[in-house]
Structure 1
Amino acid sequence: MAQQTFDLYQRISRLPAGKRIFSFVYSLKAPYFATVRPVVREVRADYAELSIRNRKRVHNHIGTLHAIAVCNGLEAAMGLLAEATCPQDRRWLPRGLQVSYLAKSTTDLLCVAETDPQQWAETPGDVEIRVRAVRTDGVVAVEGVIPVYVSMKPTGAPSA
């Protein structure tokens, strides 16, 4: 399953408006992704970035992007990276979300996820995916780590 999303991204993103089309399809993958309407900008092994708009629908009581909306964007970026990077014979599952809120999310945000190739070479085991949300003025509003557990795919198991 993991490689299928990345393969779809590679095929669709080449088309006119392909990244927008892929972004819509990807936002349907998990219903909470759709709440932030991610616009996928780049996906490759060990790196993914997308943007989320500063819309009233995802504001908090002080008029900035809600912390959970930002986390949804970060998790969407993490998922793209994991699907583009995880070896074909393995699968991944998030174990949590550890973030620090450094500044108010007052603008659109660029959500970035990054790893290093050696992290995936050392699996099965945990991979800590670094994430950050950057405002349009370059200020990092949120940063943290999303730990994922990488395990071998079962072999020979009947499919359900």
Structure 2
Amino acid sequence: MSRVLSMWRTTTGLPVVGATLGARAFSLLFSQQAPYFATIRPRFTEIRPNRAELVIPKRRRVHNHLGTVHAIALCNGLEAAMGALAEATVPADKRWIPKGMEVAYTAKATSDITCVAETDPEQWTGLPDEGADLHVRVSGTRDDGTVVVEGTIRLWVTPKKR
């Protein structure tokens, strides 16, 4: 089990703390590993192989000139979700790095935004030793269910160096 998935299960499974406070503790710890993620204050709600979900709270610090969640804050949330998914899913003998992101902004981000990253299990099996592109589906949704951003993040997956 990956370090990220283990930390998620530990923090959200603590009986004294509870799942909600454990998820907040995990979110803070995760943001310390990649400090730029802290700028959006992600609140992770789910992490498991092939799926990660977090919420970007709508607050002034992430607003654009229209008072909606800024496009780059949305991309930051999508990348954080993708990173948690990749860490929870990547085979133990592989490593990954983001290679590119393609997104479309489809509506104004006028509320908290739920960012989701997803893959299919078969995408992670039979990866060639010379490396492979792996596409992660990402989306961001308003509280009312409207999709405000969607796209793909491409990962480059290679064997770990020995």
* TM-score (normalised: structure 1): 0.93
Give 2:159's aligned residue.
152
1:94, 1:110 → 2: CA distance? 21
Aligned Cα RMSD in Å? Answer: 1.1
1:65, 1:49 → 2: CA distance? 17
Q: How far does residue 49 in structure 1 lie from its aligned partner after superposition? A: 0.2
Question: After the TM superposition, which residues 19-58 of structure 1 pair with which residues of structure 2 at under 5 Å, given as runs?
Answer: 19-58=23-62
Matched, 1:129 2:128: no
Q: Which one is further off, 24-33 or 128-137? A: 24-33
Q: How far does residue 140 in structure 1 lie from its aligned partner after superposition? A: 0.2
3-state SS, counterpart of residue 35 of structure 1? helix
2:143, 2:98 → 1: CA distance? 28
Deviations 1:61-118 (A, max 9, x none): 1111000001100000000000000000000000011100000000000000000011
Q: Which amino acid aligns with 2:158?
A: S
Give 1:3's aligned residue.
2
5+ residue gaps, structure 2, are: none
Q: How far does residue 52 in structure 1 lie from its aligned partner after superposition? A: 0.7
2:78, 2:127 → 1: CA distance? 22
Question: After the TM superposition, which residues 68-87 of structure 1 pair with which residues of structure 2 at under 5 Å, given as runs?
Answer: 68-87=72-91
Q: How far does residue 122 in structure 1 lie from its aligned partner after superposition? A: 3.5
**Aligned residues, how many?**
154
Q: How far does residue 31 in structure 1 lie from its aligned partner after superposition? A: 1.7
2:112, 2:147 → 1: CA distance? 12
Q: Which amino acid aligns with 1:109?
A: I
3-state SS, counterpart of residue 110 of structure 2? coil
Give 2:148's aligned residue.
141
Identity %: 53
Q: Which one is further off, 131-140 or 21-30? A: 21-30
Give 2:99's aligned residue.
95
5+ residue gaps, structure 1, are: 156-160
Q: How far does residue 141 in structure 1 lie from its aligned partner after superposition? A: 0.2
3-state SS, counterpart of residue 2 of structure 2? helix
* TM-score (normalised: structure 2): 0.92
